[in-house]
Every structure is written in structure tokens, then in C-alpha cells.
Copies of this chain bind each other. A is one copy, B any other.
Amino acid sequence: MRARLAEAGLRATRQRLVILESLLHLPGHPTAEQVHRRVVGQEPSLSLGTVYKALDSFVAAGLTRRVASTEGSCRRYDADCSAHHHLFCTDTQEIIDFHDPQLDTLIQEFFAVRGLQGFQAQSFSLHITGNKLAGDEPRK
């Protein structure tokens, strides 16, 4: 934890440690508000403003990403910076991670052959919209 922050060139404050830890444990790509709610349990004086600043610094340092979402009215964060895709559940508003190296390869090969005129692609992320089926957990 402490090492991750050091690698990213960020000072390991008590607050950042708790925030990063919370972000890693909260499911479904939390908002700043959700991170704050979890974090005040351990650090009651930790302010929401600090959560915003810490999350911004994580994103700037490449420790964390912002997740694209269609609800727009609040930002969501993802501690997983590896290449992956997202399942958007229209019922619960959850955003579920979906890793599939075979799919990554398929997409990369497609664009290697076909190319994009006038655009240099850096990364791909597939947004799959649908809904969770009762009783069965989507694979992570």
C-alpha cells in the first residue's frame, strides 16, 4: 500500500492510505462520496474535499482511473488500471469489471488489419450494457 504510493511519487499520508485501501475494497467503482462514507469509519475527521484531492492525485499518478459512465452527475473511480472491459447493469446501475485477454487480442488484431484513418488508438474498452441475471453472479 505504502509502496504503491511511493512508486507513484506520492507521499504516504494516513489519509491517502485509508482512501486507497477503501478504493480497492469497495465493489462496483465507487464515487468520491461512497469512498468518503467508508473512510470516515477509520478516520472520522477525513473530509470529503480531501477524498477528491487524493483521488485526483491518484489519477494523475496513474494509480487509479476514472470510469466512463452515462449518468454523468458523479465521477466514479476504478483502482484497477489493467486493460479490462465493463458490464453496465441497467437495473442496478452497477459497473462490473470484465477481464478477457482473448477479447483484447481479438480487438487488437481487428484494428491492426483495418486501421483507423486519422486516429492513433492507445487503448480499448468495451462497454457492455445489459442486466444481471437473477441468482447468478457475473464473472469478474
Residues of A within 8 A of B (CB): 65-76, 87, 89-90, 96, 98, 102-103, 106-107, 110, 114, 116-133, 136-139
How often does this chain occur in the complex, in copies?
2
Report yes or no: A133 in contact with B120, Cβ–Cβ below 8 A. yes
Report yes or no: A125 in contact with B127, Cβ–Cβ below 8 A. yes
**Which of B76, B102, B106, B128 is the one whose CB lies under 8 Å from A121?**
B128
Chain B residues with Cβ below 8 Å from A75 are: 72-73
Can you name 5 extra interface pairs (CB under 8 A) apart from A90-B122, A119-B138?
Answer: A68-B69, A123-B129, A125-B126, A125-B129, A126-B126
Known: A72-B69, A72-B74, A117-B136. A127 touches B130 (CB 8 A): no
- The interface centre, meaning the residue of A106, A118, A124 with most chain B CB atoms within 10 A of its CB, is A118
Report yes or no: A139 in contact with B117, Cβ–Cβ below 8 A. yes
Report yes or no: B118 in contact with A138, Cβ–Cβ below 8 A. yes
Chain B residues with Cβ below 8 Å from A74 are: 72
